[in-house]
C-alpha cells in the first residue's frame, strides 16, 4: 500500500492525537469536562487532540482551510482545499471509559473528499483511504460486506441525543429496520460506524443529525471499499443534509427504502 505524502501527514497527525487521547483515557477521571448543551460534553482531551491535529496539518499545508469540531472554521487562502476534523469522535464513550472512540481527519478538494483517516487508539486500528486508491485497515485492503438480503445483515445506527433530533421519527425508523434485519448495533462514534461498514463488519449504517466532521472521512472509506453512500433524499449531499445511509449497492438501496418507510397512520 503506497500512501501519498499528504495522506502520510494526515496519518501522522491522527497517530499523534491518538497518543494524547490514550494518555488522557488512562486518567479520564482527572479530566476537565465542560457541557456544550444537554448531554453534550467536551473535555480537555478533545481540545488537546484538536490542537495537535491543527498544528500538524497546518505546518504541512499552511494555506488549507480547517474545519474542526472544537473551533471556529478557518478559511484557507488556498480556495480549493479544506481539512475536516473531529479530534475525538465518541466523547461520551471516552468519558465513560468505553474504548470505542476515534480521531477523524478528511481532506476535501474542490468540495470532494479525497483523503481520509479514522484512527481508534484503543484498538490501534488505523483506517485510511485516498480517492481512487482503495480503503485500508492498517495494511489490509478493505471491501464492504457482500450480503444481499437484509435479514442476514447487521446494521449500525445512531440514536438522537438528549434535546436534539426527532426522537419519534427515529423510533419509527428503528421499528421498521428491526423488523427486517438480523441485528442492530450502536457504537456512538459515527466515524467508526462508517469504518466498520468499509471493513465489512457492519452491512450498513444510517444516522440523521450528523455534522460534517462526524462523516467526511468515513464517507470516503465506505466508497473506496466499494460501498454506496447517500443522504436521506437519495442524493449525495450528506454534509449539507446531515444525513447518511450506506452499505453495499444492494443493502444501501434496501436499507434506504426501509428507513424512509412512511410513519404508520395508526
Ligand atoms: P462526538 O462524540 O464527536 O460529539 C454519535 O451518534 C455521533 O453523534 C458521534 O459522532 C458524536 O460525536 C455525536 N454526538 C454525541 N453526543 C452528541 C450531542 N449531544 N449532540 C450532538 N452530537 C453528538
Ligand atoms: Ca462533540
Ligand atoms: Ca463527532
Ligand atoms: Ca468530537
Q: Are 126 and 132 in contact (CB under 8 A)?
A: no
| 159-174 pLDDT tens trace | 999 999 999 999 999 9
Predicted local confidence at residue 172, as pLDDT: 97
Q: What pLDDT score was predicted for residue 112?
A: 97
- CA 186 to ligand 1: nearest atom: 6
Calculate how far, in angstroms, residue 169's C-alpha sits from the geometric centre of ligand 2: 23
Buried b (16+ CB within 10 A) or exposed e, 169-190: ebeebbebbeebbeeeeebbbb
Q: In this prediction, what percent of the chain has a pLDDT beyond 90?
A: 97
Nearest CA to ligand 1 atom 17: 40
Confidence of residue 55 (pLDDT cuts 50, 70, 90): very high
Mean pLDDT confidence for 178-201: 98
Confidence class for position 213, pLDDT limits 50, 70, 90: very high
Q: CA 49, CA 110: separation in Å to the nearest integer?
A: 26
| Residue of the CA atom closest to atom 2 of ligand 1 | 90
Given ligand 1 and candidates 17, 33, 38, 40, which is best to mutate, with the most ligand atoms within 8 Å of its CB? 40
Q: Is 68 in the pocket of ligand 1 (CB under 6 A)?
A: no
**Nearest Cα residue to 86 out of 114, 121, 50, 110:** 50
Query: pLDDT digit string (tens) for 122-133?
Result: 999 999 999 999
Task: Please report the pLDDT score of residue 2 as a whole number.
Answer: 85
Residue listed under C-alpha cell 461498514:
197
Spatial distance between the Cα atoms of 96 and 25, rounded to a whole number of angstroms: 9
Answer whether 188 contacts ligand 1 (Cβ < 6 A). Answer: yes
Nearest-atom number in ligand 1 for the CA of 46 is 3
Name the residue with the closest Cα to ligand 1, atom 20.
Answer: 40
Sorting pLDDT into bands at 50, 70 and 90, what band is 263?
Answer: confident
What b/e readout covers 26-46, taking b as 16+ CB neighbours within 10 angstroms?
Answer: eeeeeeeeeeeeeeeebbebb
| Mean pLDDT of the 126-147 span | 98
Report the pLDDT value the prediction gives residue 119, as an integer from 0 to 100: 99
Cell of 39: 448531554
| pLDDT at residue 1, as a whole number | 77
Ligand 1 nearest atom to the CA of residue 86, by list position: 3
**How remote is the CA of residue 89 from the centroid of ligand 1, in Å?**
7
Is residue 141 within 8 Å of residue 232, measured between CB atoms? no
Three-state DSSP state, 128: strand
Judging by DSSP bridges, how do beta strands 65-68 and 81-89 pair with one another?
A: parallel
Please tell me the predicted confidence (pLDDT) of residue 82: 98
Which one is predicted more confidently, 121 or 2?
Answer: 121
What percent of the chain has a predicted confidence (pLDDT) above 70?
100
Structural domains in the chain, sorted by start? 5-141 (3.30.540.10), 150-259 (3.40.190.80)
Q: What pLDDT does residue 265 have?
A: 79
Q: pLDDT value at position 181?
A: 98
Three-class DSSP category at 189:
coil
Mean pLDDT value across residues 253-262: 97
- The chain-wide mean pLDDT, for the chain, equals 97
What pLDDT digit, counting tens, does each position of 7-31 carry?
999 999 999 999 999 999 999 999 9
- Does the CB atom of residue 89 touch ligand 1 within 6 A? yes
Model pLDDT for residues 83-112, shown as the tens digit of each residue = 999 999 999 999 999 999 999 999 999 999
Give distance in angstroms: CA of 165 to centre of ligand 1. 11
Query: What is the pLDDT at residue 85?
Result: 98
Amino acid at each position: 500500500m503506497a500512501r501519498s505524502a499528504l495522506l502520510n501527514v494526515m496519518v501522522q497527525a491522527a497517530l499523534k492525537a491518538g497518543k494524547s487521547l490514550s494518555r488522557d483515557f488512562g486518567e479520564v477521571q482527572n479530566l476537565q469536562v465542560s457541557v456544550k448543551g444537554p448531554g453534550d460534553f467536551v473535555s480537555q482531551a478533545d481540545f488537546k487532540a484538536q490542537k495537535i491535529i491543527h498544528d500538524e496539518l497546518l505546518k504541512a499545508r499552511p494555506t488549507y482551510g480547517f474545519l474542526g469540531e472544537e473551533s471556529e472554521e478557518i478559511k484557507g487562502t488556498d480556495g480549493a482545499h479544506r481539512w475536516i476534523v473531529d479530534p475525538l469522535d465518541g466523547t461520551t464513550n471516552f468519558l465513560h471509559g468505553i474504548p470505542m472512540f476515534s480521531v477523524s481527519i478528511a481532506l476535501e478538494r474542490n468540495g470532494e473528499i479525497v483523503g481520509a483517516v479514522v484512527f481508534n487508539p484503543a484498538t490501534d486500528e488505523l483506517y485510511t483511504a485516498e480517492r481512487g486508491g482503495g480503503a485500508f485497515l492498517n495494511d489490509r485492503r478493505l471491501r464492504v460486506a457482500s450480503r444481499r438480503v437484509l435479514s442476514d445483515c447487521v446494521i449500525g445506527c445512531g440514536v438522537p441525543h438528549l434535546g436534539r433530533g426527532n426522537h419519534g421519527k427515529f423510533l419509527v425508523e428503528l421499528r421498521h429496520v428491526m423488523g427486517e434485519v438480523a441485528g442492530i448495533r450502536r457504537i456512538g462514534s459515527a466515524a467508526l460506524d462508517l469504518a466498520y461498514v468499509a471493513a465489512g463488519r457492519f452491512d450498513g449504517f444510517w444516522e440523521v443529525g450528523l455534522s460534517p466532521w462526524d462523516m467526511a472521512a468515513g464517507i470516503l472509506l465506505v466508497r473506496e471499499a466499494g460501498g454506496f453512500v447517500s443522504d436521506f433524499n437519495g442524493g449525495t449531499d450528506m454534509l449539507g443534509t446531515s444525513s447518511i445511509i450506506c452499505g453495499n449497492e444492494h443493502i444501501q438501496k434496501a436499507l434506504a427504502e426501509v428507513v424512509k418507510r412512511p410513519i404508520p397512520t395508526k
